[in-house]
């Protein structure tokens, strides 16, 4: 060993010791104990320590906020599929979904052929007050051109929405006018409805479509129930298909109107959350109504609470296909910078004790691939493809067997209807041609069509027109060649959709749903059951 090495080694050792002391002091300074008043735990804040070490010692300048924003989702990914971090920039949209309103100009629009087209104007809303009309093309918003520039839906929403009482200038192209029309619109609160439509299917049966559960859903639902009640409905079909859920409080209020006092609605429980049971208060306003609940593989969370509570209490028939399987309860915890943590704190269980939550132990990706797996097993076509372990059997109040383990299994299974499918229809669907033709047809014949007020009037009139042939020619102009065999297979499907979309473009959902129901086999099954003149209780006993 040479003299130089003899000098350097002790020096390196000394420097290492000094560095160790400095780092140790820094760790001691930064390894504070964090206390959570919300969740009630204490633990060393290693993440804060690492961040401060990076800030104080990293070779380049860093943005700690960006690091945090990118790190949090990675941490939460190791929990369950529904625990989520909501950045501050997304909180407004989340709040709008839950509260059921936002501030904007009050139009429903669609982007077709690179043009923003007004589909519907909300009555007495800001746009209605200044004269915006269905069929108008919005081409500019303030100084921004939004026509012919491959504009996206979110961009248009960002431009049109804003704080209440702020103004926005909108440029419109309208059929019959040579020059662009300009409107100054004062934004206002716009209700984000969760009940799409209600109407009478026949003299005794009403229909209500609920698309989400927000804070306003209970009031909306009760108003629509009152309407069909006054029209003579003693049976009601509640359509929860493709309803992803939402507000727990709202669905509890809804179920409370159908159950007797003391009957269980659900209970929740978690490691840090003691069991809490929710029971009906005895309101039971609709106790005389026969109830039929429609669900499918996209019905989740609050939708499953509604269906499960009525099923387990033998209060109504559940019809359709197995629901999604989300049985986790989230608590939204606000953070200091305006963001929030939506933390799963408990599981919910139906009155019979079923946990509806499907497994997620194999990761988030596989969890959301579950629907694809179901389809690959033909579950949407055959009830027998669904196999449950005997350990997942539960009993309803009347002793019927129901199953847990992932979603609500309906009392009456209805397969997905594929009878009208063809390659020709698939091409039309992929290009969105049925939708765009219906819009153009409604726009071109708006004056004539505006004389009709009901779906039946629209259907009677359109059946006398040659819209199917017009549409086939329109499709040819848009590079979908006539296919005689495919047209024969899909004729009813295409023709019914055309009529339904044309009616929707003039009078909204009350024009669309009664027409589209002709090719809705799940709804048709519910109508068939409702006409058997048997109380739901008797139908349920037959299933026992």
Residues 379-408 pLDDT 10s: 667 666 566 666 678 999 988 888 887 889
CA 131 to chain centre: 31
Choice between 151 and 437, residue whose per-residue pLDDT is larger = 437
The yes-or-no verdict on residue 308 having pLDDT over 70 is yes
At 178-193, the pLDDT tens digits run 888 889 999 988 777 8
At 116-160, the pLDDT tens digits run 888 878 766 888 888 888 888 899 999 889 888 888 878 888 888
At 98-113, the pLDDT tens digits run 666 678 888 888 887 7
Is 301 noted as a catalytic residue in this protein?
Answer: yes
The yes-or-no verdict on residue 479 having pLDDT over 70 is yes
- pLDDT confidence of residue 382: 64
Structure token pair of residue 189: 């609160």
What is the β-pairing status of strands 340-349 and 84-86? antiparallel
Dihedrals phi, psi of 525, to nearest 5 degrees:
-65, -40
Q: How far apart are CA 250 and CA 213, in angstroms?
A: 6
* Closest by Cα among 302, 236, 215, 323 to 526: 236
* Closest by Cα among 295, 198, 316 to 244: 295
Using alpha carbons only, what angle is made at residue 119 by residues 147 and 486, rounded to the nearest 5 degrees?
A: 95
Choice among 11-15, 248-252, 343-347, 415-419 with the minimum mean pLDDT: 11-15
The yes-or-no verdict on residue 22 having pLDDT over 70 is no
* Closest by Cα among 442, 506, 512, 428 to 473: 428
Mean pLDDT, rounded, for 408-419: 89
Q: How far apart are CA 46 and CA 254, in angstroms?
A: 45
Choice between 10 and 66, residue whose per-residue pLDDT is larger = 66
- pLDDT confidence of residue 388: 66
Q: How far apart are CA 528 and CA 385, in angstroms?
A: 25
Q: How far apart are CA 281 and CA 290, in angstroms?
A: 20
Confidence of residue 36 (pLDDT cuts 50, 70, 90): very low
At 64-101, the pLDDT tens digits run 888 888 888 888 888 888 888 888 877 777 776 666 66
Q: How far apart are CA 305 and CA 357, in angstroms?
A: 11
Q: How far apart are CA 448 and CA 531, in angstroms?
A: 36
Q: How far apart are CA 19 and CA 13, in angstroms?
A: 10
- C-beta separation of 118 from 107 below 8 A: yes
Q: How far apart are CA 285 and CA 283, in angstroms?
A: 5
Longest dimension (CA), the chain: 107
Which of 20-29, 149-158, 255-264 tops mean pLDDT? Answer: 255-264
Q: Which residues, 6 or more positions from 7, have their beta carbon under 8 angstroms from its beta carbon? A: none
Q: How far apart are CA 517 and CA 525, in angstroms?
A: 11
Dihedrals phi, psi of 401, to nearest 5 degrees:
-90, 130
- pLDDT confidence of residue 97: 62
- C-beta separation of 297 from 323 below 8 A: yes
Is 376 noted as a catalytic residue in this protein?
Answer: no
- pLDDT confidence of residue 14: 42
Q: How far apart are CA 130 and CA 489, in angstroms?
A: 46
Structure token pair of residue 104: 């904007």
Dihedrals phi, psi of 413, to nearest 5 degrees:
-85, 135
The yes-or-no verdict on residue 39 having pLDDT over 50 is no
- C-beta separation of 395 from 401 below 8 A: yes
Structure token pair of residue 125: 């809303």
Q: Number of helices (H) and strands (E), helices first, in the chain?
A: 20, 23
Choice between 177 and 137, residue whose per-residue pLDDT is larger = 137
Catalytic residue among 103, 301, 490, 517: 301
% pLDDT > 70, the chain: 85
Choice between 193 and 203, residue whose per-residue pLDDT is larger = 203
- pLDDT confidence of residue 304: 96
Q: How far apart are CA 82 and CA 331, in angstroms?
A: 11
- pLDDT confidence of residue 86: 84
Is 312 noted as a catalytic residue in this protein?
Answer: yes
Choice among 312-316, 481-485, 540-544 with the minimum mean pLDDT: 540-544
Give 171's Cβ-side CA count (13 Å radius): 12
Distances in Å between the Cα of 260 and the Cα atoms of 311, 313, 316, 464 are: 14, 10, 13, 50
Question: With a threshold of 0.85, does the pTM exceed it?
Answer: no
Q: Which residues, 6 or more positions from 78, have their beta carbon under 8 angstroms from its beta carbon? A: none
Mean pLDDT, rounded, for 358-366: 76
Distances in Å between the Cα of 343 and the Cα atoms of 43, 88, 93, 256 are: 18, 16, 18, 26
Strand runs labelled E in 326-380? 328-334, 340-349
- pLDDT confidence of residue 390: 67
Q: Strand, coil or helix: what is 247?
A: coil
Mean pLDDT, rounded, for 279-300: 94
* Closest by Cα among 275, 271, 268, 272 to 329: 268
Choice between 289 and 29, residue whose per-residue pLDDT is larger = 289
Structure token pair of residue 416: 């997905």
- C-beta separation of 138 from 118 below 8 A: yes
Q: Strand, coil or helix: what is 366?
A: helix
Choice among 18-27, 338-347, 395-404, 428-437 with the minimum mean pLDDT: 18-27
The H-assigned helical ranges of 231-328 are: 248-256, 302-312
Q: Which residues, 6 or more positions from 464, have their beta carbon under 8 angstroms from its beta carbon? A: none
Q: Which residues, 6 or more positions from 108, have their beta carbon under 8 angstroms from its beta carbon? A: 118, 119, 120, 121, 122
- pLDDT confidence of residue 460: 95
- C-beta separation of 130 from 184 below 8 A: yes
Q: How far apart are CA 53 and CA 26, in angstroms?
A: 8
CA 265 to chain centre: 22
* 292 burial type by CB count under 10 A (0-12 exposed, 13-18 middle, 19+ buried): buried
Catalytic residue among 209, 235, 326, 525: 326
Catalytic residue among 312, 443, 483, 520: 312
Q: How far apart are CA 367 and CA 83, in angstroms?
A: 13
Choice between 114 and 475, residue whose per-residue pLDDT is larger = 475
Q: How far apart are CA 106 and CA 160, in angstroms?
A: 9
- pLDDT confidence of residue 540: 56
% pLDDT > 90, the chain: 45
């Amino acid at each position: 060993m040479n003299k130089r090495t003899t000098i350097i080694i002790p020096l390196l050792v000394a420097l290492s010791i000094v560095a160790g002391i400095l780092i140790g002091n820094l760790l001691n300074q930064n390894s504070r104990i964090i206390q959570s008043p919300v969740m009630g735990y204490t633990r060393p804040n290693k993440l804060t320590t690492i961040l401060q070490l990076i800030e104080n010692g990293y070779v380049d300048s860093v943005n700690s906020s960006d690091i945090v924003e990118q790190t949090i989702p990675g941490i939460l990914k190791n929990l369950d599929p529904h625990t989520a971090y909501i950045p501050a920039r997304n909180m407004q949209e989340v709040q709008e979904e839950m509260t059921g309103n936002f501030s904007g100009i009050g139009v429903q629009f669609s982007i077709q052929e690179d043009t923003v087209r007004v589909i519907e104007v909300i009555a007495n809303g800001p746009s209605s007050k200044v004269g915006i009309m269905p069929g108008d093309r919005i081409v500019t918003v303030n100084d921004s051109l939004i026509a012919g520039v491959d504009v996206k839906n979110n961009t248009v929403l960002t431009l049109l929405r804003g704080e209440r009482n702020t103004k926005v200038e909108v440029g419109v192209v309208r059929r019959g006018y040579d020059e662009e029309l300009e409107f100054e619109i004062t934004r206002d609160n716009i209700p984000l409805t969760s009940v799409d439509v209600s109407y009478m299917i026949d003299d005794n049966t009403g229909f209500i479509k609920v698309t989400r559960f927000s804070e306003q859903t209970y009031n909306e639902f009760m108003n629509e129930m009152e309407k069909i009640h006054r029209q003579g409905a003693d049976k009601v079909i509640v359509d929860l298909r493709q309803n992803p859920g939402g507000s727990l409080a709202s669905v509890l209020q809804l179920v409370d109107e159908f159950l007797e006092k003391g009957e269980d609605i659900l209970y929740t429980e978690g490691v840090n959350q003691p069991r809490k049971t929710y029971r009906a208060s005895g309101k039971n306003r609709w106790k005389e109504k026969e109830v039929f609940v429609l669900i499918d593989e996209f019905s989740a969370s609050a939708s499953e609470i509604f269906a499960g509570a009525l099923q387990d209490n033998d209060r109504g028939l559940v019809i359709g296909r197995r629901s999604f399987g989300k049985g986790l309860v989230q608590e939204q915890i606000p953070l200091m910078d305006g963001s929030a943590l939506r933390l799963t704190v408990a599981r919910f269980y139906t009155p019979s004790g079923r946990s509806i939550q499907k497994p997620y132990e194999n990761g988030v990706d596989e969890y959301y691939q579950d629907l694809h797996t179901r389809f690959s097993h033909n579950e949407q076509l055959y009830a027998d493809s669904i196999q449950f372990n005997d350990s997942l059997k539960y009993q309803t109040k009347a002793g019927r067997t129901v199953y847990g383990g992932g979603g609500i299994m309906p009392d009456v299974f209805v397969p997905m209807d594929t009878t009208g499918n063809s390659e020709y229809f698939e091409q039309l669907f992929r290009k969105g041609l049925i939708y765009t033709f219906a819009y153009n047809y409604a726009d071109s014949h708006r004056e004539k069509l505006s004389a009709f007020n009901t779906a039946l009037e629209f259907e009677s009139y359109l059946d006398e027109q040659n819209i199917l042939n017009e549409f086939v020619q329109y499709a040819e102009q848009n590079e979908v060649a006539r296919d005689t065999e495919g047209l024969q297979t899909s004729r009813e499907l295409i023709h019914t959709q055309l009529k339904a979309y044309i009616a929707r473009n003039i009078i909204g959902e009350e024009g669309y749903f009664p027409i589209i129901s002709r090719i809705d086999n799940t709804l048709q099954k519910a109508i068939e059951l409702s006409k058997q003149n048997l109380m739901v209780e008797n139908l349920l006993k037959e299933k026992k």
